Amino acid sequence: MDDERQLISESQRGDLGAFNTLVERHQRQVFNLALRMLGDGDLAADAAQETFISAYRAIRGFRGGNFRSWLLRIATNACLDLMRAAKARRSLSLETLELTPESVPLSREESPESYTIRRELGQAIQRGLDTLSHDHKLAVVLIDIQGFTYQEAARIMGCSDGTVKSRLSRARRELREALRQHPELLPDQFRL
């Protein structure tokens, strides 16, 4: 952590190499957030690039605190800007499928049927995410997919812990309803 503070300090003084090190440390998480928010690999790459450009321009104004939360807040705003500019939800592309965890190639322990069901479930989850409002989708992505705490998600989203919990609860309920339309994809313990 002290190393990161040093890199931030050097970046604030204009050291591009130090900033590039920060980018390398956080680029995967920024891209994954953007990918889940936007559902498109190319748009996610654009959002990630815009995030780091904006962060570089604004780093002198960073006053401490959690750098990752600050950076992911910028990423969230970049995603929202792209969504507003497009004025339409993006569908899951074939290229995106290759980037998602559910599309990990078939292993020797997994049957072709299990692999197909897992992949279709991943697609159904992404379609469900794509139906959520921006705020609800962001809550699910940050907490359930990225693994942030409520407090970290609240900082990134710029709201209270209670608001995050409320949005997450509603989003989970909406996702459950979306997945109930595809019970054949769910493991036995989740079928009604």
CA 171, 127, 123: angle at the middle one, nearest 5? 120
Q: Choose the weakest-confidence range: 64-68, 73-77, 116-120.
A: 116-120
Structure tokens at 79: 């995603």
Where helices occur in the chain by DSSP H, the ranges are: 2-12, 16-38, 41-58, 67-86, 94-97, 112-131, 134-140, 150-157, 161-180
Give the separation between CA 59 and CA 73, rounded to whole angstroms: 13
pLDDT at 99: 41
Contact present, 33 and 142 (Cβ < 8 Å):
yes
Q: Choose the weakest-confidence range: 10-24, 62-76, 102-116, 130-144.
A: 102-116
Give the separation between CA 38 and CA 47, rounded to whole angstroms: 9
pLDDT at 89: 40
Q: What percent of the chain has pLDDT over 90?
A: 48
Which CATH code is given to the segment(s) 100-190?
Answer: 1.10.10.10
Domain assignments of the chain as residue spans, ordered by start? 2-86, 100-190
Residue 168 binned pLDDT confidence (cut-offs 50, 70, 90): very high
Q: 44 pLDDT exceeds 60? A: yes
Q: 100 pLDDT exceeds 70? A: no
CA 13, 17, 18: angle at the middle one, nearest 5? 60
Which CATH code is given to the segment(s) 2-86?
Answer: 1.10.1740.10
3-state secondary structure of 100: coil
Neighbours of 57 (CB within 10 A): 10
If one compares 85 and 133, the residue with the highest pLDDT of the two is 133
Helix axis angle, 67-86 relative to 16-38, nearest 10°? Answer: 50
Q: What is the pTM of this model?
A: 0.65
pLDDT at 54: 95
Q: How many residues comprise the chain?
A: 192
Helix axis angle, 16-38 relative to 41-58, nearest 10°? Answer: 140
Tell me whether the CATH fold assigned to 2-86 matches the one assigned to 100-190. Answer: no
pLDDT at 108: 62
